[in-house]
Structure 1
Amino acid sequence: MSLTGFADPLWFLLLILVAALGLGYLWMLRRRRRDTARYTDLSMLDRVAPVRPGWQRHVPPALLLVALVLLTVALAGPTAELKVPRNRATVMLTVDVSESMAATDVAPSRLAAAQQAAKSFVDKLTPGVNLGLVSFAGSATVLVSPTNDREQVRQGIDALKLSQGTATGEAIAAAVQAVQSFGKLISGVDGPPPARIVLMSDGKENTPADLNAERGAFTQARAAKAAQMPVSAISFGTSGGSITQDGQSTPVPVDEVSMRQIAALSGGDFYRAQDAGQLQQVYGTLAEQIGYETKQADASRSWLVLGALTALASVAAALLLTQRLP
């Protein structure tokens, strides 16, 4: 049992009474032995007194004391961390479809592997998460606004097509705007639900070339942080990737540096995936982090059950060993 605290620890004062009962029981045993030795003819006692169990007769009161300790812990209100599905959250899945995603360093291609892993991510998300989809190359497009209809997102992922350019900043900006628009529609008493951007890309932004420009990736990462939308950045691919254009092979090495910086500037996390299996693992981790939250929950039930069962065991042992209640 892993406990994180107690809601009402003052109940532990009852353990003083439990300890007093234990000491009282030991005192009564000692007094009984002393009185027996003082006032009884031991030679006659062996012949007329019924045979009494030995140490077994102490089992019922010992179990009773243990039961009282367990029930006292239950009264103190033990708490534990419990992972529960989120009932409200928004995620924008943002996928790079630039031409470098045609590289086959990840079989069958970076894009095909990314599509498969992304659909696995969609399937693993809990129902309380609204999911949207953004694709980006030279510009960004919101393919699916945040929704709990997973089939729409799957169809959007299947429809991803390669294009020229890499406008990572535009993609982050589009994701932020989509979340904010959606948040205005469903905002309740507690405000809009928590949001996150999951950004998967293999290359460095080139539209614009300056990542600190107004629409650059670093600038938009800072804007995402200001909007309380951390970016989980996934760098996908290897340093040896290449694509063939006009009969010539063009290197398209993965760019981890800028992706790591985007995650840091937004207050999010950075992940590296060099093959389809690693990408699946990353998406699985994100689905677990995003779909569940840790809460302090009441953990007294198990202590109460153990206490009650131990008390019943004490009664049963007393009837079997001493033919009386403890």
Structure 2
Amino acid sequence: MSTRDARGRAGRGLLALGALLVLLASCAVALGVGSVDVPVSRVLAVLARRAGLGDHGVDLLEDQLVWQLRLPRVLGAVAVGAVLASCGAVLQSLTRNDLADPFLLGVSSGAGVGAVSVIVLGVGLGGLAGEAVLPVAAFAGALAALAAVLLVASAGGGALRPHRTVLAGVAVAHLCGAYTSVVVIMHGQGDAARRVLAWTLGSLAGLRWGSALVLAAAAVVALVWFLAYAERLDAFAFGETSARSLGVPVAATRWVLMVATALVTATTVAYAGAIGFVGLVVPHLVRPLVGSRHRALLPASAVAGAVLLVWADTAARSLVDGQEVPIGALTALIGVPVLVWLMARRTAS
């Protein structure tokens, strides 16, 4: 190994360690911020007590706030941010489209159909009803939208082409959006309409340990799965012809990864609603730091997306006393200026 390669590997290792420390520090601060602030030292005391490392004088209020209410939410923010950012990096490579994001395949709009059907129309599934069925219905709607997109995109030829997939996603998203609008206008009364709006803008307020663990598992599975395809994704940077010449099964790889990104995105949307701009912006911010090789880009995007969403969620529940700001609105406020800056920078260069 050359001296330059050794230095480069050491630099990437230090960058990865620094990113993880930033993520851990962000989580520790987020666990202490809220309507009742808890010092970081007391947050660590609660975590130590739950880990069986002593009592540390933790009282019931601190334990309930940190462990029962805030930690599932912070864990969910980490998982959702990691999923959206890594999915964005994958889709931007597969489609060779800098504006690709996890909602490219109509997943968010499809999930909205399921959510609106439950919130406004009161649709239930089997013995489930109301809040219990909302994630299930949203996930089912997302999968139905994905199936429709893939069916339309592959009609007539079987090959899954990026431009056809994007157009099919746009068409299905508009159809789902039309259904949502009609249902809300015709049947939505005050509270139901507000709940639909809050869900479509994203929120982590309802996360508890069960849903947070589901999201964490989805994030781990997604990252491991994507890393297994890292070399194939690198080959896509040179175009389909070059990828095929390198022995990459282009069609099969695109099918598998697009379905995988849609499935994990559907999972996040089912529990947290639609949170935009994370998957679009984060990979562009990370590439100048770690390069375009997906072995480094994917975990770096996941960590950066997790940090972004932890802070966005902390701001969402802290900016206004007694009221929560939709997290999707905050990510849009952050994402739009960053996107404009990235576009201006690329034009200037």
Scaled by the length of structure 2, the TM-score of the pair is: 0.24
Q: Which has the higher strand share?
A: 1
Largest Rg, 1 or 2: 1
Structure with larger RCO (C-alpha < 8 A, sep 6+)? 2
Scaled by the length of structure 1, the TM-score of the pair is: 0.25
Q: Which has the higher helix share?
A: 2
